[in-house]
């Protein structure tokens, strides 16, 4: 099973592709979809769509796992992220890709065992699961958080499916 994890954002959308084997995980790719901070909203959303459709065409993942919008105190940011998330969901629909959404606390709980884990703890657990080379491949050190979050979403889905399968449902996809 190939899972595309997405950490939605308008300026930077993180993505990570993780393949689940019988007893192993393999990171195929991860990176950022970046848009111009000074660009107009429609143009930025168009750029996210264009780049994500290319990723979906190239890799044809079985599932897209996306981090649910977490509403914080900044409504303006939440609206922009929600717009990006809408474009991401539209891309999945265009490519008939199954989408599973996960709340941030659930991702943290599944990856680290702690629903309130900070980014440092999450990245430490990701390296245990996926190998230390993940961080060394980061495209921009300052944006590795977005890439790591996307990989965490993908791994959250994979670990959830693995748990369901071990519970007897060999066809589990969600």
Tens of pLDDT along the chain (174 residues) come to 999 999 999 999 999 999 998 778 899 999 999 999 899 999 999 999 999 999 999 999 999 999 987 666 677 778 888 999 999 999 999 999 999 999 999 999 999 999 999 988 998 998 888 886 676 555 555 567 899 999 999 999 999 998 887 876 655 655
pTM of whole model > 0.85?
yes
- Distance, in Å, from the CA atom of 167 to the CA atom of 153, rounded to the nearest integer, reads 21
Among 49, 63, 53, residue whose Cα is nearest residue 99: 63
Backbone angles phi, psi at 105, to 5 degrees: -65, -35
> What pLDDT sits at residue 76?
78
> What pLDDT sits at residue 172?
61
- Distance, in Å, from the CA atom of 40 to the CA atom of 17, rounded to the nearest integer, reads 29
The CATH code belonging to domain 2-166 is 3.30.420.10
> With helix as H, strand as E and coil as C, how does the chain read?
CEEEEEECCCCEEEEEEEEECCCCEEEEEEEEEECCCCCCHHHHHHHHHHHHHHHHHHHCCCEEEEECCCCCCCHHHHHHHHHHHHHHHHHHHHCCCEEEEECHHHHHHHHHCCCCCCHHHHHHHHHHHHCCHHHHCCCCHHHHHHHHHHHHHHHHHHHHHHHHHHCCCCCCCC
């Amino acid at each position: 099973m190939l899972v595309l994890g997405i950490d939605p954002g308008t300026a930077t959308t993180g993505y990570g592709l993780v393949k689940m084997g019988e007893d192993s995980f393999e990171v195929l790719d991860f990176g950022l979809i970046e848009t111009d901070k000074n660009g107009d909203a429609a143009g930025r959303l168009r750029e996210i769509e264009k780049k994500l459709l290319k990723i979906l065409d190239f890799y044809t993942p079985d599932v897209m796992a996306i981090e649910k919008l977490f509403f914080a105190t900044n409504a303006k940011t939440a609206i922009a992220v929600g717009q990006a998330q809408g474009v991401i969901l539209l891309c999945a629909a265009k490519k008939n890709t199954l989408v599973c959404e996960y709340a941030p606390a659930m991702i943290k709980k599944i990856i680290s065992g702690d629903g309130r884990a900070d980014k440092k703890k999450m990245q430490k657990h990701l390296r245990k699961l996926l190998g230390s080379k993940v961080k060394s491949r980061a495209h921009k050190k300052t944006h590795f958080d977005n890439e790591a979050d996307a990989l965490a979403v993908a791994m959250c889905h994979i670990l959830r499916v693995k748990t369901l399968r071990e519970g007897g449902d060999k066809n589990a996809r969600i």
